[in-house]
Amino acid sequence: MTYAIILLLAGILLAFLETILPSGGVLGFLAAASLIGAVVLGFMHGEPAGWIILLATFICVPILILLGLKVLPKTPFGRRMILAEPHKKLDSPGGKAGISDENFSGLKDKSGVTVTGLRPSGIAEINGKRYSVVSEGEMIDSSVEILVKEVEGNNIIVRRKNV
């Protein structure tokens, strides 16, 4: 019965270690082998002992695996392996980084000035506010007057203003 208890404890420990150490499944295989061996030895000793070991296996292993998954993100290896949670505070008011909920359709046919060169995208100032814009395909230098030709969702399409 002593060997069955030793194998049970070893199997439970190996199952826990499998969750926090990178072993490629070796520790999981050893844990399964130890736990099966413990159950077999328990039933060889007597039916009540086998059922107790089997019950202990079904209770302890899932609890320790879940505990290992809770501990893993706090270990140095776990922090490198698991992606960090996204930050709650984002730059845009809509809550999605890089996507604006603002309606740009009111900018159609408005004029402005390029702040950066458009190759074909860049920054332009329209009505005193800066926007990310895209030219119709041509490259436009900075400080050039532009006209908003079209707005498609968040894309503001501009062209050089003909003077």
Q: Per the structure block, which two tokens stand in for 41?
A: 């030895």
Mean pLDDT, rounded, for 59-66: 85
Q: Per the structure block, which two tokens stand in for 104?
A: 């740009």
Based on the fold, state whether residues 63 and 129 are members of the same structural domain. no
Exposure b/e, 129-158, CB count within 10 A at least 16 = b: eebebbbeeeebeeebebebeebeeeebbb
Residue 86, domain member (yes or no): no
Mean pLDDT, rounded, for 13-17: 85
Say if CB 125 and CB 119 are below 8 A apart.
no
Banded model confidence at residue 90, pLDDT cuts 50, 70, 90: very low
pLDDT in tens, 141-160: 999 999 999 998 888 999 99
- Higher local confidence (pLDDT), 73 or 13: 13
pLDDT in tens, 130-146: 999 999 888 999 999 99
Angle formed by the axes of helices 47-71 and 2-20, nearest 10°: 20
Mean pLDDT, rounded, for 75-94: 61
First to last CA, the chain: 96
The radius of gyration of the chain's CA atoms, rounded to the nearest angstrom, is 32
Residue carrying the six token digits 């499998």: 18
Mean pLDDT, rounded, for 13-35: 86
Q: Which pTM does this prediction carry?
A: 0.46
Based on the fold, state whether residues 7 and 56 are members of the same structural domain. yes
Residue 89, domain member (yes or no): no
pLDDT of residue 153: 81
145 is in which domain, residue-wise? Answer: 105-160
Give the CATH number of the domain where residue 144 resides: 2.40.50.140
pLDDT of residue 21: 78
Q: Which of 81, 56, 58 is nearest to 71 (CA)?
A: 81
Based on the fold, state whether residues 9 and 77 are members of the same structural domain. yes
Bridge partners for 145 per DSSP:
113
Based on the fold, state whether residues 66 and 10 are members of the same structural domain. yes
- Number of domains comprising the chain: 2
Calculate the average pLDDT of the chain: 83
